[in-house]
Each structure stands twice: as structure tokens, then as C-alpha cells.
Amino acid sequence: MFVKRAGLLDTIQDSGRTGFFKYAVPRSGFMDAQSAKRANTILGNDPNDAVLEMSIQGGIYRFDSPTFVCISGAPMKFTLNGIHGESNCVIPIQPDDEIEFSQASEGVYTYLAVKGGFRSSIRMGSRSMHPSLFGVSRLKEGDVIEYLPIDTAPNKMVGNTSDVSLCSKMVVYPGPEFNCLKTPEQLRDLPLKVAGHNRMGIRVLPSTYLHRRHSTIKSSVVFPGIVQLTPSGELIVLHRDCQVTGGYPRVLLTNEEGLNQIAQMRQGSTIQFELTDLSNYLGE
């Protein structure tokens, strides 16, 4: 697939890499794993196969051999050779076909899956792009992403009309330094605003949480789903490309569903945390 015009932040992502935290290598992977795996499943792929992840604004992509594709995630209008297409279904592709995307009408991340998955280079067991491993942070015009030519329809052409979830309530659990929140009971009633958004973490305001004590700790292990509390009172939901250690209190954490959910919350969106017991997170 030839990138005729790159989108705002195009990357190739799969389910991420494991076993490399000790080398300070992030897991990376799909920001909204539910949507990416939906596209793969509709094509009959392994749910973890590599896909094209687009953020807010897509590009123009030309195919050089026959295949089948599926688009899922944040609703983003697109055309195939000038004809409007539908998301969450199998789309046949012929050589020289072009798909052109516009902006997402809501949400953040949209996924383009190809039958058999994209065959980009593998670094540390994963095709997920990360600047420290690939030397670049995104795809650019002129890049070519390999895939296997397939001219026979998938055995299981699974239809799925469901779309990305934009629910404004996100379940969170007490983190290791939960007691650094002076008034945690306010979590259920306080509307929060998404103030910044990237693959490393999502900043949440306002600075309403008063600290019980100085809000720094000895550098400790962090991972996607940890919610840190900064000295200013800002909360940061660590996401797929987050660092592996951090010195801010880990006051909350969320689960995989929460990560998928907040990934699709645009800057300026309002979100509400629903605090629940940690035993629910552990499945007890």
C-alpha cells in the first residue's frame, strides 16, 4: 500500500510488544484495541494483526495488488475511487484502487485493516511503530506498507454494525498512592475535561484534587492504565506509549475498556470517573 498523502498521525500498530519493560521499551499497540480488533475480526484476521491507525485526519492510500479491507473506530468518511464507503464491513480492493479519508466526525482513532494484516518490519516482536525503535513517529508521504495479495474473499465475512463507544463515564480503581488524593469521594460527582492527548498519555483537568501531602514519590513502575497525579493537580492517564517508570503518585488505574474509551475522547471532551473497588479490577 502506497501512502499517497499521509494523515495527521498515521502509524502501523498491532497489539504491542511484551517482555521488554526491563529495557525501558514501551508496549505500544492499538490505542483503541476494541476497534482495531473489530476490523481484524470482520476480515477473519487474527485480532492482533497489524493495522493502519489514523488520528483525527486520514490520508490517501493506493493499493498495488488485490485484497480486502475493513475500516473501524472513530467514524471517518472515506471514498474508494471516489465512491463513499461503509465502515465495519468487508471491502474488496483491486490494483490501483485508492481510498481517501476525510476528518473523523467524532472520536480520535480510526483503523484500516487489510486481509492478513500489514507486513511492515518487526522490532522486538511487534510491528507497532515507536520513535525509539523505528526512528520515526509516523508514516509519511511516499511510504509503502507491504501486505499479501489476496484475491479470494475471506472465508468468514463477518458483518458488525457496532461503532466506537464514546461513553463519558470511565471506571477507575484505587492506585498504589490513592491516599494522595485528599477528597477521593468527589470522583463520582466531578466532571473532568480532557486537556491534552497523545499516545503516551492523556491529561485530565481541572486541578481540583487537593494533595494530602507532597505529590512526588520515588520513581516506581508504571504501565498503561495508571493515572498519575502531578504537583499542579492535573491527572495523566498513561497510555500505550508511556514510559516504564515515573515519579508522580499513581493515585488511580483503569482497565483495558477504560483505555479504549479514553483514547477516543477528544481534547475538550468531558469525562467522569467512576471509582469502584480494586477487587473488581483483579477479577475477584
Q: pLDDT tens digits, residue range 63-107?
A: 999 999 999 999 999 999 999 999 999 999 999 999 999 999 999
| pLDDT score of 267 | 93
The strand ranges marked E within the chain are: 2-5, 11-13, 51-55, 60-62, 67-73, 76-80, 83-84, 91-93, 98-104, 109-114, 169-174, 192-197, 201-205, 220-221, 226-229, 235-238, 245-246, 250-253, 270-275
Residues near 20 by beta carbon (within 8 Å), at least 6 away in sequence: 124, 125
Query: pLDDT: is 34 or 155 the higher one?
Result: 34
| pLDDT score of 209 | 53
Q: What is the gyration radius of the CA atoms in the chain, in angstroms?
A: 20
| pLDDT score of 213 | 56
Task: Give the pairing type, strands 201-205 and 192-197.
Answer: antiparallel
As a whole number, mean pLDDT of residues 130-134 equals 93
The single-letter DSSP state of residue 187 is G
Question: In one letter, which amino acid is 213?
Answer: R
| Per-position DSSP letters for 124-142, written without gaps between them | TTB----HHHHS-SS--TT
pLDDT confidence bin for 168, thresholds 50/70/90? confident
Above pLDDT 90, what percent of the chain? 71
Residue ranges and CATH numbers for the domains of the chain are 2-134 (2.60.120), 169-282 (2.40.100.10)
Alpha carbon distance 110, 53 (integer Å): 6
**Coil, strand or helix: which one is 8?**
coil
Give the number of other Cβ atoms within 10 Å of residue 248's Cβ.
Answer: 23
Are the C-beta atoms of residues 241 and 130 closer than 8 Å to each other? yes
Residues near 172 by beta carbon (within 8 Å), at least 6 away in sequence: 187, 227, 252, 253, 254, 258, 273, 274, 275, 276
Residues near 116 by beta carbon (within 8 Å), at least 6 away in sequence: 45, 49, 67, 147, 148, 150
Give the number of other Cβ atoms within 10 Å of residue 172's Cβ.
Answer: 21
Above pLDDT 70, what percent of the chain? 87
